[in-house]
Amino acid sequence: MIHQLEHGNSTIAAAILDVQFPAYRIEAELLGFDGIPALRDTVADIMACNETFVGYRDGENLLGLIAYEKSGPELDICRLVVHPSSFRRGIATKLLEHVLEQEAPDRATVSTGRENAPAIALYKRFGFTEKREIEVAPGFFISSLVREMK
């Protein structure tokens, strides 16, 4: 079931981190880069965040989430994570599809590690195209992707 998460609640914020940390640890291993800022988030960081969080639950268990910021017709996806125990179940696809349908942005943006082939493939399936690469640390690059609807 997909629904908005009240991340201002400390219990919900902790549940978000329980999904986020293992997911980003896998990404860090895949990319060979452990400087992903989300690996240093705290419950207080999540609670104070201005992002909108949407989660995917199987009963009481939070299995994945997407977080974004929307400004007018533009949407910026800040994080999309699935707990490693739930990989390959289509959860990221369902979350991304839900947010793009619900928010119907004219333009959506997202950034991910250049070497994160699974994430880049997912975004490309939804019509995102790679626009630029940014070196955020020596030898580590982020790919920025954009989806234009109008």
Per domain, the residue ranges of the chain are 2-148
The three-state secondary structure class of 1 is coil
Alpha carbon 66 to its chain centroid, in Å, reads 5
pLDDT at 10 over 90: yes
In this structure, are residues 115 and 88 in contact, taking their beta carbons and an 8 Å threshold?
no
**Is the distance from CB of 89 to CB of 83 less than 8 angstroms?**
no
Quote the pLDDT of residue 139.
79
Does residue 94 have a pLDDT over 70? Answer: yes
pLDDT at 114: 86
pLDDT at 110 over 70: yes
Query: Which pLDDT tens digit goes with each residue over 70-87?
Result: 999 999 999 999 999 999
Residue 150's pLDDT band (cuts 50, 70, 90): low
Average pLDDT of the chain, as a whole number: 93
Residues 74 and 140: their CA atoms lie apart, in Å, by 27
Query: Higher pLDDT residue, 2 or 115?
Result: 2
CATH superfamily of 2-148: Gcn5-related N-acetyltransferase (GNAT) (3.40.630.30)
Assign 106 a pLDDT band (cuts: 50, 70, 90): very high
Q: What is the reported pLDDT for 17?
A: 97
Q: Label residue 34 by pLDDT band (50, 70, 90).
A: confident
DSSP code, position 106: S
The 3-class secondary structure across 109-140, one letter per residue, is: EEEEECCCHHHHHHHHHCCCEEEEEEEEECCE
**pLDDT tens-place string over residues 47-67:** 999 999 999 999 889 999 999
User: What are 31's two structure tokens?
Assistant: 């990319």
